[in-house]
Chains A and B, each alone.
Chain A
Amino acid sequence: MTPSRPKIHALVAVAAILAGLLAACAPTRPPVDLLAAASRSLAGARDADAQALAPAEYREAATRLDEARMAEHAEDYDAAARLADEADAAADLAKAKARLAKARTAVDRLQHDNAALQAELGSDAATEDQP
């Protein structure tokens, strides 16, 4: 009952396809690009003062990036890729929130300044109008 040659060929083909699928599913190399992108995003968030203006989001991004590096070190490249991607998203959010906080502060300051100037100009005009 030795298997026929066509059956052997079919088994080899199936094994090759399975191996290919497995290889496609799990990264076999460190996710260098994703880690670099996440690292750049975190640096961008830092430059936008996210540490002070969006501290929770910044800490979360930094933690994810640390975890991604640890996973890479442990050669768990799939987890490393996911964590790096999440770190990138969290860092983008931290940067966006920091910029939003800055814009809000600038708008508040200008509104306050303009109101003071308006009041000053108004009071000057009232003073000038007085006999």
Chain B
Amino acid sequence: MNCTALRAGALCLVLALALPAAAAARDDVYAPLADRYDQLAADAALAGRAPAAFQRARDALVQLKQARRGEREHWAYVAAHRIDAARAAAEAERLGEQEAGLQRENDRLLLAQARREAAQARAELERQRLQTQIRAEEAERARQDAEAARAEGEQAAQAADAARAEAAQAKRLAEAQAKANALARKEAELEAAVGGKKPATPAKTKPKHRNPKSP
């Protein structure tokens, strides 16, 4: 009877020592991972995102909590990876939303840039149109000036032609006059020779027209 009581007491003692130690070992593995998950779930920027990944992490933690000693390492590995994956998935989702916002901003900026370039192109076109118009007006003025100069030159040429013609006419007239004078002189000499008189100096016939330009 005493022996049986001693054995039972020893068994109780062993169990009393072993059970808390096992529980402590379990907590050493489980508690840090549970804390890690709780921190992730409490992160305001990430909580509520990637719900499926969060659920897988919770499931792994439950499995770890209930795992026997031989499976604890396995479930700790799985739980740690599931928690990290949940964090990465939630971060990626948050960045995806940020990317969408930045993309909208990018679209707005590209639109503003395109509008500005279009306005600049229109302004440049208008500037070139004005320059073309100015050049056309200058060319028209130059053409008109050239036309006026050409007409003036033509008139001058015509006047010169007329003057040349008048001069030629006067020259012909003077030649005719000189010829007439020579003939008259010859006629007087002949008359004097026929009459035995000393030939008188032939009277100079007045030219019908005296050209002031003629030499």
- Report the minimum CB–CB distance from B115 to chain A (whole Å): 10
Q: Is the CB of B102 within 8 A of A121?
A: no
Query: Bound state CA distance, A117 and B105, in angstroms?
Result: 10
| B112, CB-defined interface residue at 8 Å | yes
Q: Is the CB of B88 within 8 A of A93?
A: yes
Given contacts A96-B88, A96-B89, contact A86 B78 (CB under 8 A): yes
Given contacts A85-B74, A89-B77, contact A103 B99 (CB under 8 A): yes
Q: Is the CB of B74 within 8 A of A82?
A: yes
* Choice from B86, B99, B109 contacting A106 with Cβ under 8 Å: B99
Q: Is the CB of A117 within 8 A of B109?
A: yes
| B91, CB-defined interface residue at 8 Å | yes
The 9 closest A-B pairs by CB, nearest first: A96-B88, A103-B95, A110-B102, A89-B81, A117-B109, A93-B85, A100-B92, A96-B85, A99-B92
Q: Is the CB of A86 within 8 A of B103?
A: no
- Report the minimum CB–CB distance from A111 to chain B (whole Å): 6
- Report the minimum CB–CB distance from A115 to chain B (whole Å): 10
- Report the minimum CB–CB distance from A58 to chain B (whole Å): 13
- Report the minimum CB–CB distance from A2 to chain B (whole Å): 28
Interface residues of B in 113-139 (CB under 8 A from A): 113, 116
| B106, CB-defined interface residue at 8 Å | yes
Q: Chain B contact residues (Cβ within 8 angstroms of A): what range? A: 20 to 34
Q: B interface vs A, CB < 8 Å?
A: 53, 56, 60, 71, 74, 77-78, 81-82, 84-86, 88-89, 91-92, 95-96, 98-99, 102-103, 105-106, 109-110, 112-113, 116
Specify which chain B residues have a CB less than 8 angstroms from the CB of A85 in the assembled complex: 74, 78
Task: Name which residue of chain A comes closest to B53, CB basis.
Answer: A96
Task: Add 14 more A-B contacts to A82-B71, A96-B86, A97-B85 (CB < 8 A).
Answer: A82-B74, A85-B74, A86-B74, A92-B56, A93-B82, A93-B84, A99-B89, A103-B96, A107-B95, A114-B105, A114-B109, A117-B113, A121-B112, A124-B116
Q: Which of B56, B71, B86, B88 has the most CB of A within 10 A?
A: B88
